[in-house]
Amino acid sequence: MEQTRKMTDKKMSCGNVSKSFYTKGKELKVLDNLNFDVKENEFLVLFGPGQCGKTTLLYMLAGIEKTTEGEILHNGNQVAKPDCSRAVVYQTTALFPWLTVKGNVEYGPKTRNILKEKREKDTQHFIDLVGLKGFENSYPVQLSGGMKQRVGIARAYCNDPDVLLMDEPFGHLDAQTRYMMQESLEKIWLNEKKTVVFVTNNIEEALFLADRIILLTNCPSKVNAEYKIDLPRPRNIVDPEFLKLRQEISNAIDSGV
């Protein structure tokens, strides 16, 4: 399946993007002149240390946050505001507590007046795909953290976005659940062929999922390095090649940038 994925076209781009926040007249420069592309159907990981501006960058790609300088393009058009063609999966998924799993997943298509038959078919398809078959009628309060994130992913996919933007979606999960979720997400991504931009500060997660990793420096963040990850999928985290790349990236982080 992987060979058939097309990863040549430019889906999004960041051109000379900088971001500063101003509080009480004081400037905090978070991102400093970033330049990179997101290719169609690729799984791009933005990897960076804590507070380096990863969420800010993802929100700018989503159109939630504005750039201070530079331009973000999606299919050649300037990103100026949020749009349902770009879905965001947050670190902690905020589900509607009064809606069931099914209600939460079909919420987007419902508000876009997608016909009931298609809506119900898609909703069930994504609930099955994230492994929540049998939990359609459960309420968020009845779900574990990992299950809630699964609902968040199903909800994002069910909107049929052009690009999925994920902000450390597994950051709050225990190691075992996190690993299961990474495997699940890889399967969904291989099945659905969507462009994903995924933020993490976990090297193993980055190497397990990415076609390409963009390594960001400490704040104010620049692009430190870029790694194309050609290892076959699913990846084996104790494979010598995997470990070699892990070491290489660790060294780049430790080099103090």
Ligand X SMILES: Nc1ncnc2c1ncn2[C@@H]1O[C@H](COP(=O)(O)OP(=O)(O)OP(=O)(O)O)[C@@H](O)[C@H]1O
Q: Which residues contact 217 (CB under 8 A, 6 or more apart)?
A: 48, 52, 223, 224, 257
Q: Which run of H or of E encompasses 81?
A: none
Under rule CB under 5 A, which residues in 28-57 are in contact with Mg ion?
54-55
Of 113, 111, 143, 112, the residue nearest 127 (C-alpha):
143
| 48 vs 109, beta carbon nearer Mg ion | 48
* Minimum distance of ligand X from residue 156's CB (angstroms): 19
Whole-number Å distance between alpha carbons of 213 and 46: 6
Distance of CA 158 to the CA centre of its chain: 15
CB of 49 to ligand X, least distance (A): 7
CB of 244 to ligand X, least distance (A): 26
Residues lying near ligand X in the complex (CB under 6 A)? 21, 23, 28, 30, 48, 50-56, 201
Q: Binds 30, which of Mg ion, ligand X, none (CB < 5 to 8 A, cut-off by type)?
A: ligand X
Phi-psi region of 25 (alpha: psi -120 to 50; beta: other; left: phi over 0): left
- Residues 92, 167: contact at Cβ < 8 Å? no
Count of residues binding Mg ion (CB under 5 A)? 2
Q: Considering beta carbons, is residue 55 or 195 the nearer one to Mg ion?
A: 55
Query: Residue 21 binds which entry of ligand X, Mg ion, none, with Cβ cut-offs from 5 to 8 Å by kind?
Result: ligand X
Cα–Cα distance for residue pair 14/60, rounded to 1 Å: 10
**What are the start-end ranges of the H helices in 106-239?**
107-111, 116-129, 145-158, 175-192, 203-209
Q: Shortest Cβ distance from residue 256 to ligand X (Å)?
A: 18
Q: Which does 96 bind (CB under 5 to 8 A by kind): Mg ion, ligand X, none?
A: none
> 72 vs 127, which CB is nearer to Mg ion?
72
Least separation in angstroms between CB 220 and ligand X: 9
Residue with tokens 């690009």: 163
Shortest distance, position 34 Cβ to ligand X, whole Å: 13
Among ligand X, Mg ion, none, the one that 51 touches (CB under a kind-dependent 5 to 8 A) is: ligand X
| Alpha helices (H) along 13-144 | 54-62, 101-105, 107-111, 116-129
**Residue 152 site contact among Mg ion, ligand X, none (CB < 5 to 8 Å, cut-off depends on kind):** none
- Cβ proximity to ligand X: between 124 and 218 the closer is 218
Residue whose CB is less far from ligand X, 26 or 232: 26
Binding region for Mg ion (CB under 5 A): 54-55
